[in-house]
A and B are shown apart, each in its own frame.
Chain A
Amino acid sequence: MTARATAIPAAFDPGRAEGRGSADTARGFVTAALLGWRMEANWTDPLLFFIYSVAKPVASALILVFMLEVIAGPGARDLRSFVIVGSALWAFVMSGMAGLAWSVLDDRERYRMLKYVYVSPSDFLVLLVGRGVARIAIGAMGALIVLAVGVVFLGLRFDPGAVDWAMLGLVLLVGLAAIVALGVILAAVCMQTRQESWSYPEAVAGALFLLVGAVFPLAVLPLPAQAAGLALPLTWWLEGVRMALFPGGRSAIGGEGSLWTAWTGSAAPDGGAIVGTLLATSLMITLVAAAAFRVSERRAKDRGLIDRTTGS
């Protein structure tokens, strides 16, 4: 058989095996993010936009608004603002967390591409996080739409002049890291489980929903559940965003009967406490996520789960 002319270089360049460190990482991340964007966030498709950024988050908020209406009637404006904001932010949390886990399942079970992603020279975790960026963007869009619906149709009072923009920016940034870390933990879990684990991210998000004071103050929870909630970065993130966007609103953490008030004697945490605790808890969860992902990756490699497809 005659060899064909190809572009193979005359000699192997050993430097190629070394890679170029952060430049390769950045390129891998951007490529994965663009890929995720094309796959998930096709804004030219009105149906997708409607489903993910309008229907799902707005319906979630409306469920809570109607629960409130049924019991407290239209007078409970303070509570209504509380649940609308919490619900809007939760849409962002859900998308961020689920995005990464679904990337694992999508690439392994549907596109059968996970093994190729895994063997590429870029860091697997970086590529996965990149793939999840699109869903985070979808979640952010959903949160904004719910807030807009709240302001326009549901009586949510919003004064841009009163917003603490510096705190909002800081809290959003740190909170984003925490949400991605939680997503990484879920991706690590989904690497070990089977095709039907599509619902797992939502199950985890639903369970966290109970603990973080998204739509009701922590004070109504039993004390151990309150303690668990205070250890989660999402609780502090929600509190921080609420405080920055709607200063003077109801606190989810403090108040009568709350563990926070019992411990500190203060009615609600101030900005410094919120940012400080958010930073500390986010750092913790990020470390846990990194460790969990590496353990899962090793186990997946050990058991040949990277290219396994399941189903029942």
Chain B
Amino acid sequence: MSALARPAAGTPQADAAWDRRRVFLANLRSVGGRAYPRVHGLFREPSWVLFEILLPFLTTSAFVFVYRALQAPPEYVGFVVLGGAMTAFWLNVIWMMAAQLYWEKDQGNLELYFASPVDMMSVLFGMAVGGLIMSSTRAAVVLAVGAVVYGVTFTVDQWGLLLLVFFLTLAALYGLGMMLSSLFVLWGREAWHLTQLLQEPVYFVSGLNFPVGRLGFLGALAVALIPLAVGLDAMRQLAFAGALGPTGTPPPEIEALILVGMAVTFTWMARVMLRILERLAREKGRLSARWR
């Protein structure tokens, strides 16, 4: 059996000494490895198209008709469509990032990840990349179909800034997801319930379908703490330039800076949390239920 009889590369000590390039490549490859099941799994369940794209689009449409019933100005319909698109990322972050490590622990994958030679951050990045690809499809469909069906007109003066804000929002969102994933493992079964807490209440304080500035102090707090809130507000200001009037929130340039701060902080916190998780796991034996 040739696979079993592969010649040894050297000594155990030599094989354990990876240079920086090898460490970097291994971590890079593990990002792709962890993204693989998400991307490929996507196409193995056809029901996904119905449940992840069509039905969420109808949910978004319900809010469009609320504004229509109120005879709201057309840009408000645009808010709903944009909010509906960004919801895809938020749901992905809380369900398939924040709660994911908890699932991985249940399935016995978490200890294999920790026992592998790559950094757990790479595994989390892989989850994020796979999740991003999954939810981008949904977001793009909601945005494109919503814009066409409901006649949304975008007025963009600063395309570059809009794109930058979009990517910064994703970076901050997935950074938050990576941070929460470790916390959720530590919190155990409550993780499922905390995920629930991060849905409607966060939609509300983020001003999912209305300008977050109308929430006053609560809105300001959300803009300072929740990437969905600040990202949405900045994108609304940029995608419907001039249509909003005074929003009561900082200009998009400032919000972009807030997003940079969030992306860096959350990603750094994710790393810190992972270290804490690993330390607690190794000290207290919390990585699996099957210890003895």
A and B touch in the complex (CB under 8 A): yes
Q: Which residue in B65, B66, B95 is a CB contact (below 8 Å) of A199? A: B95
Least distance between B225 CB and chain A CB atoms (Å):
16
Flag if B214 contacts A66 (CB, 8 Å): yes
A261 CB within 8 Å of chain B: no
Chain B contacts with A in 184-239, Cβ cutoff 8 A:
190, 193-194, 196-197, 199-201, 203-205, 207-211, 214-215
The residues of B that contact A214 with a CB separation of less than 8 Å are 62
Residues of B with C-beta under 8 A to A216:
62, 65-66, 68-69
**Complex partner residue of A221 from B42, B65, B193, CB under 8 angstroms:** B65
The A/B interface has a contact count, at CB < 8 Å, of 128
- Kindly state the separation between the CA atoms of A66 and B199 in the bound complex, as whole angstroms: 17
- A220 near B200 (CB under 8 angstroms)? no
Least CB distance from A238 to B in Å reads 13
Q: Is there an interface contact between A51 and B193, defined as CB atoms closer than 8 Å?
A: yes
The closest CB in chain B to the CB of A222 belongs to B65
Size category of the A interface is 35 or more
Which chain A residues in 25-68 approach chain B with CB under 8 Å? 47-48, 51-52, 55-57, 59-60, 62-64, 66-68
> Which residue on chain A has the smallest CB distance to residue B130?
A312
A70 at the interface (CB under 8 A from B): yes
What 10 pairs between A and B have smallest CB-CB spacing? A206-B59, A312-B41, A207-B58, A203-B55, A216-B69, A210-B62, A59-B200, A59-B204, A59-B201, A312-B37
Please report A residues at the B interface, Cβ cutoff 8 Å: 47-48, 51-52, 55-57, 59-60, 62-64, 66-72, 76, 79, 83, 110, 189, 192-200, 203-204, 206-207, 209-210, 214-217, 220-221, 309, 311-312
Spell out B's residues near A (CB within 8 Å). Answer: 37-38, 41-42, 45, 47, 51-52, 54-56, 58-59, 61-63, 65-72, 76, 91, 95-96, 103, 106-107, 130, 190, 193-194, 196-197, 199-201, 203-205, 207-211, 214-215
A-B contact pairs, 25 of them (CB 8 A): A47-B193, A48-B193, A51-B196, A52-B193, A56-B200, A59-B205, A60-B200, A64-B66, A66-B210, A69-B214, A70-B76, A71-B76, A196-B96, A200-B51, A203-B55, A206-B58, A207-B54, A207-B58, A207-B59, A216-B62, A216-B68, A309-B107, A311-B37, A311-B103, A312-B38
